[in-house]
């Protein structure tokens, strides 16, 4: 049985980035490394404007939670990778969930479904766009911390119901200093504050594993670089996009990496995709 690849990518407007998205999916396919599931964040449009037709033509089903201008998340599934029982957009996404049932939220930041790939036990895939938080002490930071607490509550329930859970997305948290280009300059700031890192540790204590850190990685590996100050060229970045796996999925995990290639394309998203492979 062939392995599967699950990935996450904050595209910073799917309208602008659709050409990159299609090019990236097709480039992975040509490398004989197709993406079987892709979680997208920051769509910045409502569901009726989502490019279902283009992605369908590229071979993907989509489950979308959108809103105007801000946020918005999707879960894409490669049709040809799905089990025979999941051959239309209804049956591909089982027990679909938009947003956190335990946290009232106007902002569309979570979409989840149970997915049956060919020849495998079903797994629960969650695409999440964590709040940015602006800065510790602000109202937006307080919203972020409340949102994280709500996510913790929901995830502990999800883990009771499902043994195979993957949480993919833009966490807006750099879990440790090795995930930050200049830890001293960032100390105590948004994305790296002790409160945020404690929340990330909470997910680990629930039983999740950071798939990227299961493997040896190059130092200074990041997933986001500021558009300003030539951030990408200087590799002045942070690692804030993550793929966390429950114990059972962790035992199947054989690789994880960040694909920096699309970040170097013309008019890129400021995030790079993260890919994790399951045997």
Partner DNA sequence: ATGGCCCTCATCGAGGGA
Chain residues that interact with DNA, rule: CB under 7 A: 10, 12-13, 15-16, 42, 44-45, 68-70, 131-132, 134, 140, 170, 172, 190-191, 224, 226-229, 238, 240, 267, 270-271
CB of 237 to DNA, least distance (A): 8
Closest approach of DNA to the CB of residue 76, in Å = 18
User: Given the complex with DNA, which of 35 and 45 has the nearer CB atom?
Assistant: 45
Tokens 């100050």 appear where?
229
Q: How far apart are CA 114 and CA 116, in angstroms?
A: 7
Please report how close the Cβ of residue 162 comes to DNA at its closest, in angstroms.
27
> How many CB atoms are located within 10 Å of the residue 95 CB?
12
Rank residues 184 and 228 by Cβ distance to DNA and give the closer one.
228
Considering the complex, what minimum distance in angstroms separates the CB of residue 114 from DNA?
Answer: 27
* Least distance in angstroms from the C-beta of 61 to DNA: 23
Task: Give the integer Cα–Cα distance in Å for 178 and 186.
Answer: 12
Of 41 and 97, the one with the shorter C-beta distance to DNA is 41
| CB-based burial label for 84 (10 Å; 0-12, 13-18, 19+) | exposed
- Between 79 and 140, whose beta carbon lies closer to DNA? 140
Reported residue count of the chain is: 279
Nearest C-alpha neighbor of 167 from the set 255, 73, 261, 102: 73
Give Rg (Cα) of the chain.
Answer: 17
Distance CA 266, CA 165 (A): 35
175 backbone dihedrals φ, ψ, rounded to 5°:
-65, -30
C-beta of 127 vs 277, nearer to DNA: 127
Minimum Å gap between C-beta 230 and DNA is 8
Cα separation, 81 vs 211, whole angstroms: 22
Q: Nearer Cβ to DNA, position 192 or 249?
A: 192
């Amino acid at each position: 049985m062939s392995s599967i690849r699950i990935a996450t990518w904050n595209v910073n407007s799917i309208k602008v980035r659709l050409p990159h998205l299609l090019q990236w999916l097709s480039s992975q396919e040509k490398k004989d490394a197709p993406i079987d599931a892709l979680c997208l964040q920051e769509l910045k449009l409502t569901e009726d404007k989502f490019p279902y037709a283009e992605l369908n033509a590229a071979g993907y089903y989509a489950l979308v939670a959108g809103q105007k201008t801000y946020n918005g998340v999707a879960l894409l599934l490669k049709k040809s990778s799905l089990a025979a029982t999941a051959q239309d957009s209804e049956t591909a996404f089982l027990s679909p969930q938009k947003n956190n049932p335990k946290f009232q939220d106007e902002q569309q930041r979570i979409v989840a479904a149970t997915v049956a790939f060919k020849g495998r036990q079903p797994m629960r895939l969650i695409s999440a766009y964590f709040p940015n938080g602006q800065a510790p002490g602000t109202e937006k930071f307080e919203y972020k911390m409340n949102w994280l607490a709500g996510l913790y509550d929901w995830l502990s329930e999800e883990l009771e119901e499902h043994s195979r859970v993957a949480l993919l997305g833009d966490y807006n948290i750099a879990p440790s200093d090795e995930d930050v280009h200049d830890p001293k300059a960032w100390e105590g700031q948004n994305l790296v504050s002790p409160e945020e890192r404690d929340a990330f540790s909470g997910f680990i204590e629930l039983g999740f594993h950071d798939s990227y850190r299961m493997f040896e990685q190059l130092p200074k590996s990041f997933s986001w670089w500021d558009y300003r100050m030539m951030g990408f060229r200087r590799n002045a970045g942070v690692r804030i996009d993550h793929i966390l796996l429950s114990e059972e999925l962790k035992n199947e995990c054989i690789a994880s990496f960040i694909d920096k290639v699309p970040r170097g394309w013309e008019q890129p998203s400021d995030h790079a995709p993260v890919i994790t492979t399951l045997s």
